[in-house]
Amino acid sequence: MTQNAQRPPITLSSADFERLDNLVSAIERSQPDLATTLAEELDRAKVAPKEDLPRSLVVMGADVTFRDDITGDVHHKQLVYPDQAHGEDDRLSILTPVGVALIGLSEGQSIDWHTRSGEERRLTILKVAAAAEHAAP
């Protein structure tokens, strides 16, 4: 990824931050590169109570529509924890390079990221539908 100064600001709920921080510790040995990338995102994130987060923010469990700005392809995915992915096409694990790139972004934001093969890509958040557990009552 590009340097922190060039990345867009991100915000995480305190609950997501804590669970993702624990996930980093759990994968440090098995997936060190991804653990480092996720830890860097956590380090630069603003953390707020979930009730203070806008609905347009990519949180865990959110349904996200995003565009690959290189290919023009548009994707619709739910960002989930690895135990919730189950290989379903409409779910995207946070433990993927694109999953890490998505977390904490808001509609309209773009970010550069690297695929597992090292190819640089850019994505733009088009729409976010908040997950039921994150939506305000």
- pLDDT for 132: 58
Query: Cβ contacts of residue 104 below 8 Å, gap of 6+?
Result: 10, 11, 12, 41, 45, 57, 58, 59
Helix, strand, coil percentages in the chain from 3-state DSSP, rounded to 5:
30, 30, 40
pTM of the model: 0.86
The residue extents of the domains of the chain are 8-129
User: What class does CATH assign to 8-129?
Assistant: alpha beta
The per-residue pLDDT string of the chain (137 residues; one tens digit each, 9 = 90 and over) reads 444 447 899 999 999 999 999 999 999 999 999 999 999 999 999 999 989 999 999 999 999 999 999 999 999 999 999 989 887 789 999 999 999 999 999 999 999 988 888 889 999 999 999 765 444 43
